[in-house]
Amino acid sequence: MAGSGFIGEEIRVESPDVIYTDTEILSYYNYHDSHIRGNVVTPTMERLVFKTQRQLPKTGLLLVGWGGNNGTTLTAGILANKLNVTWNTKEGLNHPNYLGSICKSVTMRVGIDDRFMPVYAPLNNVVPLLNPNDLEIWGWDISSVNMGDAMRRAKVLDWDLQRQLYSNLKEMLPWPSVYIPEWIAANQSDRADNCLKGTKKEMLNALRQNIKDYKNSRRLDKVVIVWTANTEKFALIKPGVNDTADNLLRAIENNSPDISPSTLFAVASILESCTYINGSPQNTFVPGCIELSERYHVLIAGDDFKSGQTKIKSVLSDFLINSGLKLQSVVSYNHLGNNDGKNLSAPETFRSKEISKSGVIDDVVRANRLMYKSNESPDHCVVIKYVPYVGDSKRAMDEYISEIFMGGRNTISMHNTCEDSLLAAPIILDLVILAELCTRIQVKRDKDEEFTKMHPVMSLLSFLLKSPQVPPGSPVVHMLFPQRYAITLLKSPQVPPGSPVVHMLFPQRYAITNFFKALIGLPPENFMMLEHKVPSLRMCKTVNA
């Protein structure tokens, strides 16, 4: 509708720099930045070509930890949307939705209309994105409970909704999985009745067979695998064991005790050319695993979904420090009563989460040498307590203290009831949708002959993941980590070698929407709105020839 400020259908860019064919979108994009040497700043421009496949593949989603709170909530939520199941609560009739998903519930500014007013569009009208309703979902769990009873066990969704979905879900039985007790809390053993037997090599082959059979039986073009199983302890990085791809494969052949279940799943995914996303904070992607992903050019993403308390922290710390208020103390406490909280009540698994939740302020502090000396950072404390009574309804309490003008202090305290799985499920969806998009994109410099795929460790996902940036004094296992790969859409962002890890939420979000604009040849969001600041611009504004 003209002048509505919203585009409700697929965007079509008219430009000599954007070519639409039946199968792909070609976009010639001028990538501008500045190069710094000393105090000399030189603007740079690289002409790139993006090629995006338009056809949406038939995609499967395999969840490790399928029977957990996140896995069952995501599966039930997609089914409710697919079947358009409505349900009653004391507030009245509820309809299924995808709130919390940026791919399904967020718009982005595309440009301005004839009145110089902003116009917005849903992300899936900018470039073709998977429809979650079309995902074929299955998975593994060490618990044999069917998805209907697992949904009941999770106690996340309203009863009237559970009641209507139960008959479909109870037919879904998780495949047996890799259970090695020492990698997660001992208190998880009481649910481990669905476990593979044999050596690590035999279990690897079983996982690969599961993937192959599922792909063939559902006639899938692609499969994305997400670890939403319990948080593991950190794996030690051991030269000759998991420091290179060949050593990692050999260690599996030798049934090494140093290879975690999550790394075994990652290796199986990579060898079956399936994107693998680690939704938990442990260092699944040991250097050998990352090298394997590069060798086979399979996308990997990790670590640790960024769902509630940490997401707020990444916004607040950015707001405070980038307002010139010197953040000096951050205390993040939360208690929760779900099985995740039960697993995190063990010191080693908690340590994985503590590091992941602690790293989110590192980059915003490091970026400000005016207020913080090179070795200076705010006090930062993370506390998680297991309180069964609150279930999945995590209670987060945070306090931020900043130094302000002339010796003043500012204290922000907040209470945040995060329904952990209702916040995490749409984030898993976004990770899958964006990761699948990345597999359809190729890029080259205009002057190069050949297109290449995106780097296997994609930092595009930064908005949805926590940051495991290892704070000083963290386990040496991280310190030895030769290259930080932080896909920063999780708490623990992984970026390609030598890339900076961005935790600040808004730069991360605009990394996504500016990337979408680049795929269709549109300039990045610059927020300048000069048409409203430079009157002469309103006279001579012309479409970019």
Ligand X SMILES: NC(=O)c1ccc[n+]([C@@H]2O[C@H](COP(=O)([O-])OP(=O)(O)OC[C@H]3O[C@@H](n4cnc5c(N)ncnc54)[C@H](O)[C@@H]3O)[C@@H](O)[C@H]2O)c1
Q: Determine the Cα–Cα distance for residues 283 and 236; give it in Å rounded to an integer.
A: 9
Q: Could you say which of 222, 342, 466, 517 is catalytic?
A: 466
As given in the structure block, the two tokens for residue 526 are 């610059």
Q: Could you say which of 313, 394, 491, 517 is catalytic?
A: 394
- Of 52 and 492, which has the nearer Cβ to ligand X? 492
Angle at 231 between CA 432 and CA 167, to 5 degrees: 60
CB 319 within 8 A of CB 201: no
CB 196 within 8 A of CB 36: no
Q: Which of residues 277-316 bind ligand X (CB under 6 A)?
A: 279-280, 304-305, 307
Q: Which residue has the tokens 């930890």?
A: 65
238 in active site: no
- Of 177 and 492, which has the nearer Cβ to ligand LIP? 492
As given in the structure block, the two tokens for residue 323 are 């307002």
Tell me the number of residues near ligand LIP by CB under 6 A. Answer: 18
Which of these segments, 133-141, 241-249, 333-341, 441-449, binds ligand LIP (CB under 6 A)? Answer: 333-341
**Shortest Cβ 285–ligand LIP spacing (Å):** 18
Which of residues 141, 392, 420, 430 is near ligand LIP by CB under 6 A? 420
Q: Could you say which of 141, 303, 304, 318 is catalytic?
A: 304
Residue 100 interacting with ligand LIP (CB under 6 A): no
Q: Could you say which of 353, 357, 491, 517 is catalytic?
A: 353
By rule CB under 6 A, what string of x and - marks binding of each residue 387-406 to ligand LIP?
-------x------------
Where do the DSSP E strands lie in 21-131? 24-37, 40-53, 59-64, 87-89, 92-94, 107-112, 118-122
486-514 b/e (C-beta count within 10 Å ≥ 16 → b): bbbbbbbbbbbeebebbbbbebbbbbbbb
**Shortest Cβ 194–ligand X spacing (Å):** 8
Residue 230 interacting with ligand X (CB under 6 A): yes
User: Which among ligand LIP, ligand X, none contacts residue 228 (Cβ within 5 to 8 A by kind)?
Assistant: ligand X
Residue 343 interacting with ligand LIP (CB under 6 A): no
Residue 177 interacting with ligand X (CB under 6 A): yes
354-392 b/e (C-beta count within 10 Å ≥ 16 → b): bbbbbbbbbbbbeeeeeebeeeebbebebebebeeebbb
311 in active site: no
Q: How many CB atoms lie within 10 A of CB 2?
A: 5
Taking the alpha carbons at both ends of the chain, their separation in whole angstroms is 25
Q: Determine the Cα–Cα distance for residues 255 and 244; give it in Å rounded to an integer.
A: 16
Q: Which of residues 49-88 bind ligand X (CB under 6 A)?
A: 64-65, 67-71
Sign (positive/negative) of CA torsion 167, 169, 175, 179? negative
| Greatest Cα-to-Cα distance within the chain, rounded to the nearest angstrom | 74
By rule CB under 6 A, what string of x and - marks binding of each residue 273-312 to ligand LIP?
---------------------------------xxxxxx-
Which of residues 78, 142, 418, 502 is near ligand LIP by CB under 6 A? 418
Which of residues 98, 141, 225, 463 is near ligand X by CB under 6 A? 141
Residues forming the site for ligand LIP (CB under 6 A) = 306-311, 334, 336, 340-341, 344, 353, 357, 384, 394, 418, 420, 466
Catalytic residue list: 304, 353, 394, 466
Binding site for ligand X (CB under 6 A): 64-65, 67-71, 140-143, 177-179, 184, 191, 228-231, 261, 279-280, 304-305, 307, 338-340, 343, 420-421, 423-424
